[in-house]
């Protein structure tokens, strides 16, 4: 039991309920907009900081499994970004200095930009071509009276992981691929 007397199962139900409540606020058009931006791109460069960065790396892996030309910003094998490319970043709390700098570089290079965020009025969203709004608690608002069970930005990051995997399923369907085709692209260097 936790210090508040809840069992692990009760805490899990609460956490899943919080995640589900966020998805009730996310329309199908949000996923469709993200799919459209990804499918129009020649190359996709993904970026996020901290745990959000891990979720963006997970998305990048799925994009690679789909046969799309995707890379993680900061990886030494990431090519330059340019015309026809998409910089896809996460800025849950609305802004990070590195995200703002990368958006500027991408814009200057002629690439399109997409920001996944919980704060659609934040500086990163205002700098992007496309905003993907996931209305979940982040560290920007985790001290609010109504803050849920999951600490700090965990709700946003959990929603992000599920949402991005659902987007990869939608992309798989739009590309006419099977789960086995995706699996065939998974690394054997593990």
- Which fold would CATH assign to domain 29-177? Rossmann fold (3.40.50)
31 pLDDT band (50/70/90 cuts)? very high
Q: What is the mean pLDDT of the segment spanning 50-63? A: 96
Q: Please, how many CA atoms are within 13 Å of residue 190, restricted to the half-sphere of its CB?
A: 3
- CA-closest candidate to residue 57, choices 72, 74, 79: 72
Express each pLDDT in 36-45 by its tens digit: 999 999 999 9
Q: What is the mean pLDDT of the segment spanning 181-190? A: 92
1 pLDDT band (50/70/90 cuts)? very low
- pLDDT score of 145 more than 90: no
Express each pLDDT in 148-167 by its tens digit: 778 787 899 999 999 999 99
Backbone angles phi, psi at 8, to 5 degrees: -55, -40
pLDDT at 13: 93
Q: For the chain, give every domain's residue range.
A: 29-177
Q: Give Cα separations from 39 to 21, 36, 53, 60 (angstroms).
A: 28, 5, 21, 13
* 3-class state of residue 134 by DSSP: coil
In order, the DSSP letters of 135-172 are: ----TTSTTSTT--SS-TTHHHHHHHHHHHHHHHHHHH
């Amino acid at each position: 039991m936790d210090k508040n007397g809840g069992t692990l199962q009760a805490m899990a139900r609460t956490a899943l309920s919080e995640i589900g409540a966020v998805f009730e606020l996310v329309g199908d058009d949000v996923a469709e907009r993200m799919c459209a931006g990804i499918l129009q791109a020649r190359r996709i460069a993904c970026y996020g900081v901290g745990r959000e960065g891990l979720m963006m790396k997970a998305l990048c892996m799925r994009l690679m499994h789909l046969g799309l030309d995707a890379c993680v910003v900061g990886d030494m094998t990431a090519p330059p970004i340019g015309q026809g490319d998409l910089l896809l970043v996460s800025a849950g709390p609305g802004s990070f200095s590195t995200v703002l700098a990368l958006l500027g570089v991408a814009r200057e290079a002629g690439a399109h930009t997409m920001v996944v965020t919980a704060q659609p009025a934040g500086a990163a969203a205002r700098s992007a071509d496309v905003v993907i709004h996931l209305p979940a608690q982040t560290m920007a608002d985790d001290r609010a009276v109504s803050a849920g069970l999951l600490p700090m930005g965990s709700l946003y990051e959990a929603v992000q992981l599920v949402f991005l995997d659902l987007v990869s399923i939608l992309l798989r369907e739009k590309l006419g691929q099977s789960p086995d085709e995706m699996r065939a692209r998974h690394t054997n260097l593990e």
